[in-house]
Amino acid sequence: MLLKSSKVNEFRLWGLALTMGGMLLMIVGLAGIVFDWGTAGRVLAIIFMTLGMISVLVSMGIYFWAGMLSTSAVVIDCPECGRRTKMLGKTDRCMYCKTILSVDPQYQPDAHNETAAAQEANFEPSREYEQKPH
């Protein structure tokens, strides 16, 4: 559970990784020109700069896609930490505490865990951290 995150955050993570990877590829390609490796350095620079540019453009598309998904995501209160989080699909994780969330009755807690479900149903989230309008 330490390495899992919400779906929106996963998309953003991949976008960031592609951006950083693309920049790294462009820097490696630039080394062919800076260190004056001749014709081979120029070809290396063209290849790596093109791959880096493609990677950055793909990351821009992923960021755009994640933003569009985020606008249509269902906003719910996390029963564990009480913060508002966005949920994509039938199950997702809280963006803050990474608790598994679900709106589908099929994924409700089992009978042996019924007391925990009853406690979560009576949980009143604290809204002290939210901004109040003036």
The pTM score is: 0.68
Handedness of CA 98, 104, 107, 113 (dihedral sign): positive
d(CA 65, CA 11) in angstroms, rounded, equals 8
Each residue's pLDDT expressed in tens, for the chain with a length of 134 residues? 556 788 888 888 999 999 999 999 999 999 888 888 888 889 999 999 999 999 999 999 999 998 898 888 888 888 888 889 888 888 888 888 888 888 777 775 454 444 454 455 555 556 666 666 65
